[in-house]
Amino acid sequence: MIEQAKQIGITLLQGKRNVTDADLRDAIDNILKIFPHLIGESESLYKYFESQFSVFSDNYKILVDDETYIPWLKNKKSEIKWSFWNRYLMYLQKKIAPSTLNKLDNLTDDILDRIIDPKTPGPWDRRGMVVGQVQSGKTGNYIGLINKAADAGFKLIIVLAGMHDSLRSQTQIRVDEGFLGFNTQTAMNFSNAGNRIGVGQFNKNLPAHALTTSRLNGDFKAQAAQSSGVNIQGTDPIILVVKKNASILKNLVSWLAVRGDKTPDGKIIIRDLPFLLIDDEADNASINVDPKKVSTINGSIRALLSLFEQSAYVGYTATPFANIFIPLLNEDQTKGLNLKVKDFEFSVGQDLFPRDFIINIPAPSNYIGPSKVFGLPAASSSEESQEPLPIVVKISDYTAFVPDKHKKGDPLPTILPESLKYAVKCFILSCAARRVRKQANVHNSMLIHVSRYIDWQDRISSLVDAELKFYHRQIEFNQGSIIAELKKIWIEEFEPKTHQVINQTHTYTDPEIKPISWVKVKAELFNATSKIEVRAVHGDKNVAGLTYHNISPIDYFTSEQQGSHLSVIAVGGDKLSRGLTLEGLTTSYYLRASKMYDTLMQMGRWFGYRPGYVDLCRLFTSNELVEWFKHITIASEEMRSEFDYMFLLNETPRKYGLKVRTHPDVLKITAANKFRHKQIMMLSYSGELEQTYNFKIDQRIFSNNFHATAELIKALGTPSGPVNNSVKNQEYVWQGTNNSHLITQYLHAYSIGREVVDVHKMADYINAQVGKNNLTNWTVVLINNTIAKKEEEKFLFTIDGKQTEIGLTDRSITVSRPNETVSSYYINKTMIISPNHEMIDLSDSEIKEALALTKLDWGKSENKGEPVLPSSARIKCKRKATNGLLMLYPLNYAPIHKRYLEQSTTGKREHVSERVRYSDVPIFGFAISFPEIVNDEKIEYAVNNQFIEEFDYPDELDAEDDGNE
């Protein structure tokens, strides 16, 4: 009844432009007229509607090639009958927040507008890409595009959905629900469709057909397509959801080719059939990884597009780095690139670079992404660091269980580590707690992802299943210690974390989250554990040789159709790591130590939406992986920030691609085989701000960097003093000429992890620019904390031969758990600089000009609060190409630790700030601000075996399944 009341309220409020407090109260009054017995739930309903209508997201931004973009949709919108889109809209109104729905409407309009009017006569070919966040709703987005494309006149739509049957099937189910309106397991042809599902419940008479089904084996088959009775040259739209598999794609190309015409030059072309290709997870498998020829999957996709006279390609991904590496080839370079299928040869044409448009979509405020999980801010965040949600549990007892870089034939584990047992108990508690919150008819999932090998997954599944049965028997017969252990975990772990999430309104707000007593959780333990099963999800269909036989795929849809919901512990590897959604995921145990940014980020199945239960979620992982996720987030946000800046400059996708390809962080971002068409990378630091934000706690390193800094200051001589009136408090400034050699000497002497800053490559870059008379003159600043008062907050440093008192810079470390050990000094917000420091070397007039440009940018981006300082990008634009800026930061020997105290009674998460001494000398960090250098001298970076091994790249990440998983 409460769910029905919520839906009525959403309907009542949907038409309001700006929902006010009075609107919310009026809606609740009307609901209570229908359901008077819900009077006691009025405040709960108010908070629910408030949260639904307060979900917001920043505006998306678009890079477009103006030479190919011809706006058409606004002029034709009133002529198009939006039948498919309108029923999808009605379907979504019960599922997502109104503001998010409005953004989806606008976004799909903008994508469709940038493709082309499908009724445009003659040949055309459009290529674009949409960049979202992991698990943020990309599938719902492109299904929206599919509905509008069908209304506009696209007749054939193909969705490329991952490399595994499970993901393809899951995507087909979403297409069935969101576009077709019928269950393809029953029929492929609209006229013969049986039960209506999803959008089909709103309008049952919209004809659309499928040539694939949602069955696990429902991928494209020529014989099934032929017998379906569906005519691709008919008037109704047709859709296929196809796996990225070489043989299936080849069969599809050859089946379609029979329906084409032969041209005088021997090519086959399908005319007058507007074709839309949606490439889900476009950075996976679609990229050409063969340095000598076109790889089969990439070639098949390109051949598919070349087959149609009128085609549009839209890639969707959260990690677009590999796509940006796709080379743009000219016509001569594509000649002779053919794909042979049976007796035919197909031209593969141009590669899949999104040359016409790239759209960057920010996630809505209710999305649980890296910034909320790990406490890292987005690039546009305020100065205050975002406190992470208390859901990460760092573990260290796994090395004997699953060693790092273990091999397929290594001895298998015999016992579970205590951390995994604890994680299973947390999952049991989360299932029980969700039942208390009236979330009984929902799916619950736990992810265990520690090995890519089937033998290991098989053994771990058996061990976990035995442990789960041991707990279940104790709960059923009220024996043993499990209930007492669960009570202890609930009171010590879950109760305080729930209170903390409730109080963390600046990070996340969800009125559905309320404290739950142990008594209520205990009452649901038996019902919760009775439903839980362990499944090995590795794709091996043959149980021979396996010790654990529950290998059936996780099919949430079929369970719902049968009136039940799954509670499953999924043990797997790569098949669980990309694209596949684990419904109701609360507990993750993850140890895969890949250091590729795109791979690791895609493995984060715990990102997404967790309405009413984020406080029950837990991520168990290693300290190393937490550090790498932080590096990933920083690099990803830098890429997005670069995108936003290119948007302000009205640049094209091609220019953005060139910029990203030279970005220093790209080295670690994606698999080496995705850019092996060039064994040499070209690097640029033009317009970059590089800063040290993470320091390994090591006294030898701290001493080395202190002495390297002292030698640099000694060589600089007498300070020249402040350069402008905006940063007058920094007096230890050296403005030099022809002094680049001092900077490069310092970088070579300085020691820090390569994943933070590659000091040697930076020095090489500076030397390369000096050869073209750039970066010859450097300003060096020794940052003095002028508000430091206490003696322990200062130190004596020799400047120009004199002992000078310098105030130490304070940057804090947030420690999520009271007893957490710290292996590295990770600066909050990853920013060592203060907002005004980057303009220390500019003149007053240059600062004024930079601020004026910043205000113009602010006007274009529709942000709140007019800027009072120039942006980093505009500062670097105004700095002369000859000038570089090095800022030296003497950090306190004893950084401030914010240790949070968990109060289970009040729920308030109070913290104590204490200093922990790590060094005998100040911990020196630095930041370098490089100017924008037009046509800078880029430096070579060889992608060699050492590079590949250092960042743990597999040999062929996106090759076809090698049978290991």
Q: What is the pLDDT of residue 819?
A: 59
- Count of H-run helices and E-run strands, the chain: 29, 32
Q: What is the DSSP string of 328-369?
A: ---HHHHTT-EEEETTEEEE--S-----SEEEE-PPPTT-B-
Positions of E strands within 812-902: 813-815, 824-826, 883-891, 896-902
Structure tokens at 901: 């105290």
Q: What is the pLDDT of residue 823?
A: 74
Do 570 and 448 form a contact (C-beta atoms < 8 A)? yes
Do 317 and 285 form a contact (C-beta atoms < 8 A)? no
Cα(502)–Cα(515) distance, integer angstroms:
9
Structure tokens at 189: 């042809």
Cα(921)–Cα(704) distance, integer angstroms:
10
Cα(328)–Cα(326) distance, integer angstroms:
7
3-state secondary structure of 398: coil
The distance in angstroms from the start CA to the end CA of the chain is: 45
Cα(90)–Cα(199) distance, integer angstroms:
8
Residue located via tokens 């290709």: 277
Q: What is the pLDDT of residue 622?
A: 87
Q: For 869, list phi and psi in degrees, rounded to 5.
A: -125, 150
Q: Which residues contact 211 (CB under 8 A, 6 or more apart)?
A: 188, 220, 224, 225, 228, 230, 238, 239, 240
From the list 597, 602, 674, the residue with the least C-alpha distance to 636 is 597
Structure tokens at 736: 């030099």
Do 110 and 62 form a contact (C-beta atoms < 8 A)? yes
From the list 605, 609, 557, the residue with the least C-alpha distance to 582 is 605
- How many Cβ atoms sit within 10 Å of the Cβ of residue 741? 15
3-state helix, strand, coil in the chain (%, to 5): 40, 15, 45
H-type helices in 57-137, by residue range?
A: 73-76, 83-92, 98-115
Do 747 and 762 form a contact (C-beta atoms < 8 A)? yes
H-type helices in 862-954, by residue range?
A: 872-878, 945-950
Please name the helix (run of DSSP H) or strand (run of DSSP E) that holds residue 161, with its range, or none: strand 156-161
Give the CA count within 13 Å in the CB-facing half-sphere of 383: 7
Q: Which residues contact 473 (CB under 8 A, 6 or more apart)?
A: 479, 480
Tell me the sheet residues that pair with 238.
Answer: 156, 209
The low-confidence residues of the chain, meaning pLDDT below 70, are 1, 14-18, 51, 54-58, 192-194, 289-292, 321-322, 324-325, 327-334, 336, 376-386, 539, 575-579, 592-604, 658-681, 814-821, 828-829, 861-864, 898-911, 941-965
**Quick one: CA dihedral 276, 281, 283, 284, positive or negative?**
negative
pTM beyond 0.85: the answer is no
From the list 97, 109, 583, the residue with the least C-alpha distance to 367 is 97
Cα(421)–Cα(486) distance, integer angstroms:
11
Tell me the sheet residues that pair with 369.
Answer: none
Q: Cα 697 vs. chain centroid, distance in angstroms?
A: 29
Cα(317)–Cα(653) distance, integer angstroms:
15
**Quick one: CA dihedral 584, 585, 586, 587, positive or negative?**
positive
Cα(559)–Cα(564) distance, integer angstroms:
5
